[in-house]
Structure 1
């Protein structure tokens, strides 16, 4: 990780995280027309459930290509986000989303046990994402029900 050279406020960190989420909703393109990867430090890390830990922009690009390749669309519900600030480089955002996976659509709360609720932990320094750990159920279409006794027979 790089040595900090620019002081950032919580609101500035939040704006970087929002730009990332909006770029994901826009097929990986930022509001300025750049790549979502431009928001990351060269040695950044991203962790996604069932994919693992990606280190560096090239590997993060593969992760996003793999995951994004399964999604037809995604929309985060910005007005419903909960933000938690650490007073340092870390911030957490909890939210909901809806969209369409190649296996079918999803919407947070429909059904209540299904995909669409998520939490991201960011480390943002020098206006770049250093780390983003994503916590969600990657079974967007809710098809993995047979392995859980409380969901058997539901879809």
Structure 2
């Protein structure tokens, strides 16, 4: 009998976690998802330890929410052993009868970070705005900037531009990826340009457009996983792992990668992609 991969087992545990929460079924199977020393975190609530801590949090949140539903079909999973990050949308009804999100000031976005010990959850940190129905008017006033003139066309921030780059590249969002670039770009993807025509330095939008065409004609992505995005002002660094099928050689190449972005006035002015180009050259024969 074939053994189920560990990540698939863990993903099933996460799905059970959300199904139990949505149905309000906190039984032995639910508490069996956790290690005895499980740690949980929730904004404004803070930290709890152990299964009793999970129960304590459940009592608190249960007094506030009548119903909670997660859009599990559209979850986005990021795997980085032993951590699985889940990003998605949720909606619900408070005990006072208010439905959320309203998609005006609340949007139902959340992110859960699960850390596993074997097949059991040893840490779950939940990142969500606990002000589900946007009743914190003081903060709303600050963030919506009601006391100042509204900025009609705000300049996208560095991380927003980088995330949009990958969303468009991998089909999660419609758009023209070339619109994210400035007219002049410091572009570099080191490699053997004779064997791999998508590598090399580029400077103009036209040359970058040729890159994406060369990439499409020569490479099929098998997997592309981002471990983290680090942002400091105009600069961003993206770290992850990828596997790509090089069509000419009918071989799959896997490598860790680092991408260096610089974003000025909402446009990418620098893109340096660093991978194990030596191994790529050696393996493709």
TM-score, normalization by structure 1: 0.82
User: Could you tell me which residue of structure 2 aligns to residue 9 of structure 1?
Assistant: 6
The offset of 1:141, in angstroms, is: 1.4
User: Could you tell me which residue of structure 2 aligns to residue 28 of structure 1?
Assistant: 25
Indicate yes or no: 2:103 matched with 1:111. yes
> Judging changes above 3 Å, is the alpha-carbon distance between structure 1 residues 106 and 137 closer, same or farther for their aligned structure 2 residues?
same
> Judging changes above 3 Å, is the alpha-carbon distance between structure 1 residues 10 and 69 closer, same or farther for their aligned structure 2 residues?
same
Structure 2 counterpart of 1:121, from 108, 113, 138 = 113
Q: Which runs of 5+ in 2 are unaligned?
A: 147-285
SS of match in other structure, 2:28: coil
Equivalent pair of 1:115/1:137 in contact (CA under 8 Å): no
CA deviations 1:10-30 (Å, max 9, x no partner) are 11111111110111001133x
2:114 and 2:68 mapped to 1: Cα distance? 20
User: Could you tell me which residue of structure 2 aligns to residue 77 of structure 1?
Assistant: 71
Indicate yes or no: 2:143 matched with 1:150. yes
Q: Which structure has the bigger radius of gyration?
A: 2
Structure 1 counterpart of 2:128, from 124, 131, 136 = 136
Which protein has the bigger strand share?
2
Equivalent pair of 2:6/2:119 in contact (CA under 8 Å): no
> Judging changes above 3 Å, is the alpha-carbon distance between structure 1 residues 115 and 65 closer, same or farther for their aligned structure 2 residues?
farther
1:146 and 1:102 mapped to 2: Cα distance? 22
SS of match in other structure, 1:66: helix
The number of residue pairs the alignment matches comes to: 141
Indicate yes or no: 2:66 matched with 1:89. no
CA deviations 1:8-66 (Å, max 9, x no partner) are 6211111111110111001133xxx6352221111000100100010011122101211
2:119 and 2:54 mapped to 1: Cα distance? 18
Equivalent pair of 1:115/1:141 in contact (CA under 8 Å): no
Indicate yes or no: 2:64 matched with 1:67. no
Equivalent pair of 1:76/1:98 in contact (CA under 8 Å): yes
Larger relative contact order, structure 1 or 2 (CA cutoff 8 Å, min sep 6): 1
The offset of 1:126, in angstroms, is: 2.9
The offset of 1:96, in angstroms, is: 0.3
Aligned-residue Cα RMSD (Å) equals: 2.0
Q: Which runs of 5+ in 1 are unaligned?
A: 1-6
